[in-house]
Amino acid sequence: MTQTIDVGLGERTYPIHIGAGVLDGLAAQWADRLKPRRLSIVADETVWKAHGPALSAQLAQAEIDVRLVTVPGGEETKSFPVFADVCEQMLAHGIERRDVLLAFGGGVVGDLAGYVAASLLRGIDFIQVPTTLLAQVDSSVGGKTGINSRNGKNLVGAFHQPKAVYIDTDLLETLPEREWRAGYAEVAKYGCLWDGAFFQWLESEGPAVKSGDQGALIEAITRSCAIKADVVAQDERESGVRGLLNLGHTFGHALEAIYGYDGRLLHGEGVSVGIGLAYALGRELGLSSGQDEQRVKAHLAAAGLPVHRADLAPETLTLDALWTPMMKDKKVQDGVPTFIVPTSIGDTHLNRDVPKAAVDKVLNEWLET
């Protein structure tokens, strides 16, 4: 069973191909479109060892030349030095403006490679082949590319839409369990922020999704991507409604910064905690119910995701430590942070008038859990 969803951006509309084995058709679909007949690939070195030979064989059969650059996985790769090194390797290979770059890996590689594509020769085309659940339902779609700086996550980058996204669920067979859980946080996020019926479906079918049942998995990915495609089509550059997709990310990114991107806290784990905190903030502001908060937290916890302070690895966490990265968040305007606050399960709003005292209270409560 395969699905195709279009991200509707006028002349820049592109397809998201979803299903088991969809990657098998990439070479045939692109062979005659590649002029010159070659692909420049930026790949996660571990993922490439597992899945690269099959892709290489497919491309060789279609007589597509491959120029490969591999990088380590992990947030440390989204850095200025790695970005510069990949650019220099691509330029040394003789890359031209007509070339197409292919990102092969999780969200880190997709973000990095997309930014390389946006930057080289002032912009070349690229294709996303996400290999983690988190990248498949979130970062590979929508054109956000970039790297981290010492001041925070994703603060340097560009909007650069791919020409196509290939979401092959077969690639998830080698995904570690912890990465599965982290990706599921982004799936649940879509139900929380946009579609209460989807969240209700996840409450009953989530175990099947997490067990790798192909029907349930493809349904969850398709519904997640459909929501993101709808939002991106309405607001490509995040001037309004697209900001809602950051539910849980203001808190989550702050936690990631404190943990130093060293692997003790994955992005999806930070988002899970952040979603719980967002619902706590909604309850504190009188905008959403405590019942919704508990329902969301219970679902995330049942998926094996962190919700409470005690669920995280040891680290010095204080109110001041959390506020420092939150005030460097991309959504800060005129020195005021923007919070995505739920009003129910399936409905959220951007709020730039949240009293600091309310945020402090919610964070202090969480720090004691």
Low-confidence ranges of the chain (pLDDT < 50): none
Pick the catalytic residue from 78, 160, 181, 253.
253
For 43-93, the pLDDT digits (tens) are 999 999 999 999 999 999 999 999 999 999 999 999 999 999 999 999 999
Q: Any catalytic annotation for residue 267?
A: yes
Q: Please give the pLDDT value at position 257.
A: 93
Q: Any catalytic annotation for residue 97?
A: no
Q: Any catalytic annotation for residue 122?
A: yes
Q: Any catalytic annotation for residue 295?
A: no
For 237-246, the pLDDT digits (tens) are 999 999 999 9
Q: Any catalytic annotation for residue 144?
A: yes
Give me the residues paired with residue 165 across strands.
16, 128
Q: Which residues are within 8 A (CB) of 143 and not within 5 positions of it... i.e. 6 or more apart?
A: 114, 159, 160, 161, 162, 232, 236
Q: Please give the pLDDT value at position 193.
A: 96
Q: Please give the pLDDT value at position 152.
A: 85
Q: Maximum CA pair distance of the chain?
A: 62
Domains of the chain, start order: 2-174 (3.40.50.1970), 190-367 (1.20.1090.10)
User: 34 in helix, strand or coil?
Assistant: coil
Q: Please give the pLDDT value at position 20.
A: 97
Pick the catalytic residue from 153, 181, 210, 242.
242
CA dist 52 and 262 (Å) reads 26
Pick the catalytic residue from 181, 249, 297, 330.
249
Q: Any catalytic annotation for residue 228?
A: yes
Q: Any catalytic annotation for residue 88?
A: no
Q: Any catalytic annotation for residue 242?
A: yes
CA dist 65 and 83 (Å) reads 23
Pick the catalytic residue from 17, 51, 78, 144.
144
Q: Please give the pLDDT value at position 188.
A: 98
Q: Any catalytic annotation for residue 186?
A: yes
Q: Please give the pLDDT value at position 1.
A: 76
CA dist 176 and 173 (Å) reads 9
**Any long-range contacts for 54-58 (C-beta under 8 Å, 24+ apart)?**
55/23, 55/26, 55/104, 55/129, 58/23, 58/24, 58/26, 58/27
Q: Please give the pLDDT value at position 324.
A: 95
Q: Please give the pLDDT value at position 279.
A: 98
Pick the catalytic residue from 153, 181, 223, 228.
228
